[in-house]
Amino acid sequence: MKINKDVGLKYRHKYKHWYSDRINPLWTPVFQTNRTFSYGRSHDRIQRIQYPLKPSAAKTINRAQGYTLPKVVIHTGYRKVAHLHYVALSRAKKLSDIQILHFDESKIKISEEVSEEMKRFQNSAMLELNYSPLYTLPETCLKIIFQNAQSLHKHFPKLKNDENFINADVLCFAQTRFFDGESMDKYTLDNFYEPIPCSRPGTIGDRSSHGHAVYLKEETCFSSESVQKYSTVNLEFIALEIGKNHQPIQIVSVYKAPKCNLDAFKQHFLNVLDYIDITMPLIIVGDFNFNMFDGHPQFIEFMKTTFHCKQLVHEVTTKFKTQLDLVFSNIQDVKAEVIFCPWSDHYTISVIYDNKA
């Protein structure tokens, strides 16, 4: 058979002694093969003699548009048609699955309409983000991120390359699944102090749903003496005081277990009053596991009357269309935003405070 010159090289070389002047050197010998198989309930043996050839079909490149093919042989023709070469070469997933019979670079063409539309996309039709990227904000802003990490040890390589995370001043993580006594050496971030972990005592080697951690940027002023930790089965929090632009700000990062009811939450969270001053600037962030879309007015009233704080998140905060991750603050100019997170069921919560004044 005469097939593509790059196919059958080994066979043509192996049987080159068969070739004479009257046989085209590009012809490739194809031999009969025997196939035996069983048929029916009696498993009768059937033998079939066949040539090892598969039927194939060809179609124009335009007709092939939209198809994804396991293997493809391409002949781009001799006409200059806009985007024809792109359509042809993008039918397979890998370059190794493409065999090119003919390709003339001089025939590649891009339509003027597409070029103009691409320029419009790049210059005047750019989509606006529905949040403020932390890497675009001025240095005077205090930038805090809260994230229910659902296993920080598992997702750490992803967040360490996220521009929003590495440009924050404070990173608060719940459900880190760090265990008691675990070394933090492998969880360090460039330009951040060593993480402040909070794990329940007695959880050595246990990566169940617990654990808390806070990261602080190196230029952030803070005293290790201000850091307070609280960890029980029902509630975990880390409270600390930082300085930004010579202004002290108290931050509390919280995680409440889903089974912890409001009365139990109040009983545990009132302990934070031993470590903070509610007359000073205060930001409380966390996964409270109270879905705000279900109301919970008593919880909101408790946070308002006890800490003089207002709840600032008004969007969906999880992939399940619930609002569990919240921000409370007694600072008037604090803003909270929600950022989609591809590696957790909980979205990223950013807190922004421009305290240059």
Domains of the chain, with CATH numbers? 1-29 (no CATH), 58-110 (no CATH), 134-354 (3.60.10.10)
Residue 123 above 80 pLDDT? yes
For residue 15, name the pLDDT band (cuts at 50, 70, 90): confident
Please give the pLDDT value at position 306: 97
Q: Which residues of 157-179 are buried (b: 16+ CB within 10 A; e: fewer)?
A: eebeebebbbbbbbbbbbbbbbb
Residue 251 above 70 pLDDT? yes
How do residues 180-219 score in pLDDT, each as one tens digit?
778 888 899 999 999 999 887 666 666 777 889 999 999 8
Please give the pLDDT value at position 226: 87
d(CA 251, CA 170): 9
| Residue 112 Cα to chain centre, angstroms | 36
Look at residues 266, 256, 261, 228 and name the one whose alpha carbon lies nearest to residue 326: 256
CB 1 within 8 A of CB 27: yes
How do residues 133-144 score in pLDDT, each as one tens digit?
999 999 889 999
| Paired tokens of 44 | 């009768």
For residue 93, name the pLDDT band (cuts at 50, 70, 90): very high
Q: Which long-range contacts (CB under 8 A, 24 or more apart) does 94-98 make?
A: 97/69, 97/70, 97/71, 97/72, 98/72, 98/73, 98/74
Please give the pLDDT value at position 164: 95
Distances (CA, A) of 197 to 169, 170, 251, 257, 332: 17, 14, 15, 18, 30
Please give the pLDDT value at position 356: 63
